[in-house]
C-alpha cells in the first residue's frame, strides 16, 4: 500500500478521485490503439523509461505482450540487432527524453519521423509525457511491486 | 532558437491546443483535452493551487510557453502576479502559505527525485491534504509535466514570450 491513499496500485490510488478515473483511463487507452506508432514500440519505450527510473512496479506492468528476448535485451538495445532501426530511433529518443528533455536534438526527432512521420513523433512525445508521469507517480506514491509476480526480465539496467 | 520539429498545417480552429502539433494525433486529442478540463474543474484543489503547481513545473522543465501562460480561472480564483513571483528557488522564505509551499515541495519531489520522498515531507503532506487532494495534485503535476516536456521536445520554443492569459481549452 502506498501512503497517498488506501490503494495499493495505480488504479486504486487514482480511484480515490473518481471524477478523474474515466478521463485518465480513456486517454491512457487511446495511446495503445492509435495508428501512428506501433503499440509494441511504445511498450518498449515505456519499459525503458521504467528501467531508467528504476521503477519495479512499472517493470512488472505489461501493456502489450512482447517477446521475452526483447524484454531481456532492452537495456542493451543500442548494441543488439534484435531491435529494428525504427525501435532504436524511438528508444534513443526515449533515453534522452528521460534524462534531459532539453537535450533532444533535431537528429533525434528526424530519426523517429523517418519511420513514423510527424504524427508519429507527436504521438511519441505525448505518450512519453504520460508514461514518464505515471512512472514518477508510482515512485512518489511508493507503490510496491508484487512479490509473488515475476519481474519483467528487462529490468536490468 | 531552433525551428519547430513538427508543423500542424491545419490550424484554423482558434483553439490553442487543437491548433498545436497535438492536433496531428486526433485519436488522443479529445481525451487529452477532456482530462485537462477535469483536472482544472473537478477535484478538491482550487484553480489557484493548481496553477501554482503548473507554473512550478513550467519553471523547472523550462517550457517558455508554459511559463508565459496564466489560466484565467486561476486569476479569477485570486492568484496574483505578486504571488506567482514567489514561485522561485527561495519560495520557502516567501509569504506563500504553508499549503502553497507544500504544493511546490510536492511538485519539486515529482520532478527532481520521485523515489526520494522524505518522511518529514510525507508527514507534512498528509497533515495538510486529504487523499483526494493528494491524488488531484499528483495527476495535475504529472499532466503538466507531460505537456511541458511535449512542448519542449517538439522544438521551436522562443527564448521568451510575454505573459498571456488564456481560458481553459475546450
Measure CB to CB from residue A27 to each of B5, B35, B147 and give the nearest one. Answer: B35
Which residue range(s) make up the domain with B150?
A: 26-166
Higher pLDDT, B36 or B18: B36
Residue B9 lies in a domain: no
pLDDT of residue B1: 67
Is the pLDDT at A144 greater than 60? The verdict is yes
What chain A holds in terms of domains, given with CATH numbers, is 10-155 (1.20.1290.10)
Query: What ipTM, to 2 d.p.?
Result: 0.96
Say if residues B19 and A123 touch (Cβ distance below 8 Å): no
Is the pLDDT at A27 greater than 80? The verdict is yes
Q: Which long-range contacts (CB under 8 A, 24 or more apart) does B14-19 make?
A: B15/B169, B15/B170, B16/B166, B16/B169, B17/B169, B18/B169
Mean pLDDT in residue range B61-77: 97
- Domain total for chain B? 1
Mutate: best of B67, B150, B168, partner A, most A CBs <10 A? B150
Interval A43-65: pLDDT, tens: 999 999 999 999 999 999 999 98
Alpha helices by DSSP H, chain A: 10-14, 18-31, 39-53, 56-60, 68-73, 85-99, 106-140
CATH number at residue B60: 1.20.1290.10
Q: In this structure, what are the phi and psi dihedrals at residue A143, rounded to the nearest 5 degrees?
A: -70, 145
A102 touches chain B (CB under 8 A): yes
CA angle A66, A71, A75 (to 5 degrees): 145
Chain B contact set for A50 (CB, 8 A): none
Is the pLDDT at B107 greater than 50? The verdict is yes
Amino acid at each position: 500500500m502506498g501512503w497517498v491513499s488506501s490503494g495499493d496500485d495505480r488504479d486504486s490510488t487514482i480511484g480515490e478521485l473518481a471524477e478523474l478515473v474515466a478521463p485518465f483511463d480513456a486517454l491512457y487507452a487511446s495511446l495503445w490503439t492509435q495508428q501512428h506508432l506501433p503499440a509494441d514500440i511504445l511498450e518498449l519505450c515505456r519499459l525503458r523509461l521504467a528501467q531508467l527510473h528504476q521503477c519495479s512496479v512499472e517493470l512488472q506492468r505489461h501493456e502489450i505482450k512482447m517477446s521475452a528476448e526483447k524484454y531481456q535485451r532492452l537495456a542493451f538495445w543500442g548494441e543488439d540487432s534484435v531491435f529494428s532501426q525504427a525501435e532504436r530511433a524511438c528508444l534513443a529518443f526515449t533515453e534522452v527524453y528521460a534524462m534531459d528533455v532539453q537535450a533532444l536534438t533535431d537528429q533525434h526527432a528526424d530519426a523517429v519521423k523517418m519511420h513514423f512521420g510527424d504524427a508519429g513523433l507527436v504521438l511519441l512525445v505525448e505518450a512519453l509525457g504520460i508514461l514518464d508521469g505515471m512512472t514518477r507517480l508510482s515512485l512518489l506514491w511508493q507503490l510496491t511491486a508484487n512479490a509473488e509476480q515475476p519481474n519483467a526480465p528487462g529490468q536490468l539496467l | 532558437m531552433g525551428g519547430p520539429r513538427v508543423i500542424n498545417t491545419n490550424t484554423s480552429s482558434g483553439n490553442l491546443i487543437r491548433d498545436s502539433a497535438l492536433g496531428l494525433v486526433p485519436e488522443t486529442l479529445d481525451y487529452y483535452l477532456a482530462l485537462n478540463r477535469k483536472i482544472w474543474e473537478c477535484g478538491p484543489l482550487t484553480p489557484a493551487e493548481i496553477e501554482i503547481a503548473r507554473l512550478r513545473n513550467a519553471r523547472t522543465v523550462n517550457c517558455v510557453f508554459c511559463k508565459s501562460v496564466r489560466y484565467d480561472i486561476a486569476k479569477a480564483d485570486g492568484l496574483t502576479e505578486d504571488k506567482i513571483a514567489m514561485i522561485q528557488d527561495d519560495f520557502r522564505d516567501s509569504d506563500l502559505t504553508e499549503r502553497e509551499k507544500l504544493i511546490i515541495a510536492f511538485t519539486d519531489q515529482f520532478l527532481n527525485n520521485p523515489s526520494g520522498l522524505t518522511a518529514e515531507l510525507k508527514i507534512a503532506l498528509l497533515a495538510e491534504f486529504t487523499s483526494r487532494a493528494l491524488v488531484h495534485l499528483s495527476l495535475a503535476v504529472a499532466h503538466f509535466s507531460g505537456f511541458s516536456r511535449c512542448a519542449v521536445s517538439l522544438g521551436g520554443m522562443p527564448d521568451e514570450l510575454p505573459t498571456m492569459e488564456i481560458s481553459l481549452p475546450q
